[in-house]
Structure 1
Amino acid sequence: MVISDLGLYGPESVTWRIHADPSFAIGGLRALLLQALHPVAMAGVSANSGFRADPWGRLQRTTEYVAVTTFGTAAEAEEAAGKVRRVHRRLTALDPDSGRVYPVDDPALLLWVHCCEVDSFLYAARRGGLRLSDADADRYVAEQVRQARLVGLTDEVPRTAAELSAYFAEVKPLLRATGPAYEGLRLLSVPPMRWWVRWATPAAPSWGALVAMSFGLLPGWAKRLYTHLPVLPGSELTATASLRALRTAVLALPASVREGPHLKAARARVAGVPVRRLESLPA
């Protein structure tokens, strides 16, 4: 049983370690770049999400959802997931090849999004320097099954890192970069900014560097699917070095600065929970 005031995972989980790490943001961007390679999933995003008009809003809503379901109470996580499920029930995605219409909450599409996020958060954390054993990686993938259940998935969700790799090997033949994928990449790389922010601050080049870092951390096969973009030798090594430098810099900041409000609230709740209750959380 999950203890409601500790949420779905609790402070002893690998999920808290990964989602509280500075590498998390880069993992999130990597997940978006990877998710865009599924033609039907990206068609659904293109048709329904409003990312063209408000890319910052979409990023904020996605980040907020993961933060609430990770660090919020179990009731808060279920409420956030319920809103997502209700929206998904009304939306469809058009397969650009067959013309078939899929519901956005089709299990295969939900599984793709889930696996991209889990793989990306885990990979970015490890490449960024967070110490995670193979057992930790397996535990994280298994913990994330709870996230999959929130959106309605019940079966065939990977529970180990090996199962996650096997999933990508199976789905790889279905993937390619469509027009909407390139459009999403352009908007992600050069999002709208107020003129004074773009030209009078380092925001634009800094953001572009983060997206380039995230692209460099994609698996080689995924980078090659973006056929209109050059795949530079050593790009993963460069991205890894940049991520480690970024992570070191962020970790040097006080926790009051680098930690988000949901994590701070979760730590406050945990501070009032007896140790014996923490130990009863599921692995």
Structure 2
Amino acid sequence: MTRIVSPLEDFGIFGPDSVTWKVYRYPTSMTVGFTRTALTEMFDPLVVASVAGTGSLRQRADDRYDRTLEYAGALVFADSGTAVGAADTLMRIHSRIRGVDPVTGQTYDPNDPAGQLWIHLTQWQSVLHVYEQFGPGPLSEEEERQYWAECAIAAQFQTIDPADVPCSRAEMRAYYRRVRPSLVVSETAIEHAQLILDGAKLDLSQLPAHLSLLNPLVQWLLRRATIATLPRWIRAAIGSRQGPILDVVVTAVLRPLMRIASRRPQLLAQMLEKSSPRAYPVIAPAILDIAPTTPETVSVQNAFRRAGRPLPREQYMTLVSDSGSLTT
């Protein structure tokens, strides 16, 4: 039975008029987009070291993916109070995780701004990439400028300096070129990338019985679609030989399916409820166009001010200052 979706307090930081909502509300983001995000992140040695150190992906992959989608959904779709709470909670959890990466010998800190920037940009670029490949296609020039401006706004929920966030597709490519030499194809990275790819599933139990028989085909399609978005070096790392012909076929098949899904928000919400029960309450109101109690957007600064909390970067700078060291 579908849970009742309660209205949120406000539209949060972006709202329905934003390009962020336009891109993230499309079903590509909650399927291929977040799988591609999580998989790509694993090739930063310090990020994968912190994930491997907790054992969360090996032991409870479904729960970790659900919590990640819940967090991302809270920042993009939820009301301002929920977004601040999610950011604060994640900072507290990350503050308890420390260790040394056995591959590079470097100390990892999940709250480190450089690692946070990698995770943030990988998500925003991946979600846009799959929207363009399997969704309506490229944004207009004006929409793209707005999207990257909103990406910088969202970065304030983390320890990132917003000035470090790319303002365009060209700057995003330059960022990837800059960090590429520091990425590592380790056994741990490959293992975790495979775990993410193997765990990418969509619950189709809400579909009519005759359509749910297509479940194995849909799961195969989502896996192949994720691979179709990956750069060649990551494909080689995970041992995929998928070539351009299959990429084209998968794209041609998935694009109309995503278009159909986008026109059936109730069904999309039901599948989200089954696949990601924790993320459902924060994402479903946006999918179903349920108006909040107060139909307004709130700036990040005002959201934290209302909660009586400093911004995450301010919290981080205070912590590292008190500890006598600074990692940027």
Q: TM-score, normalised by structure 2?
A: 0.73
Distance 1:202 1:5, change over 3 A: same
Local SS of the residue matching 1:91: coil
Deviation of the 1:176 alpha carbon: 3.0
Greater shift, 16-25 or 255-264, is seen at: 255-264
Distance 1:50 1:205, change over 3 A: farther
Distance 1:111 1:272, change over 3 A: closer
Local SS of the residue matching 1:112: helix
Q: Say whether the 8 Å CA contact 2:36–2:226 is kept in structure 1.
A: yes
RMSD of equivalent CA atoms = 2.8
For residues 109-151 of structure 1, what are the alpha-carbon distances to aligned partners after superposition, in whole Å with 9 as ceiling and x for unaligned?
A: 1111111101100000011232421331231122022221101
Which residue identity does 2:291 align to in structure 1? R
For residues 3-56 of structure 1, what are the alpha-carbon distances to aligned partners after superposition, in whole Å with 9 as ceiling and x for unaligned?
A: x71201011101101111011121111111211121221111111251111100
**Unmatched tracts of structure 1, length 5 or more:** none
Aligned equivalent of 2:170, options 143, 154, 162: 162
Alignment-derived partner of residue 35 in structure 2: 29
Partners in 1 of 2:267 and 2:191 — Cα distance? 34
Alignment-derived partner of residue 247 in structure 2: 236
Q: Say whether the 8 Å CA contact 1:139–1:160 is kept in structure 2.
A: no
Partners in 2 of 1:261 and 1:246 — Cα distance? 24
Greater shift, 78-87 or 45-54, is seen at: 45-54
In the alignment of these two chains, the number of paired residues is 268
Partners in 2 of 1:227 and 1:94 — Cα distance? 24
Which residue identity does 1:35 align to in structure 2? E
Deviation of the 1:162 alpha carbon: 1.8
Distance 1:85 1:185, change over 3 A: same
Distance 1:192 1:29, change over 3 A: closer
Q: Say whether the 8 Å CA contact 1:93–1:103 is kept in structure 2.
A: yes
Partners in 1 of 2:254 and 2:141 — Cα distance? 21
**Unmatched tracts of structure 2, length 5 or more:** 1-8, 206-211, 270-279, 301-328
Q: TM-score, normalised by structure 1?
A: 0.83
Alignment-derived partner of residue 268 in structure 1: 290
Q: Kindly, what percent of the aligned residue pairs are identical?
A: 26
Aligned equivalent of 1:223, options 231, 235, 240: 235
Local SS of the residue matching 1:190: helix
Q: Say whether the 8 Å CA contact 1:65–1:80 is kept in structure 2.
A: yes
Which residue identity does 1:151 align to in structure 2? Q
Partners in 2 of 1:74 and 1:49 — Cα distance? 31
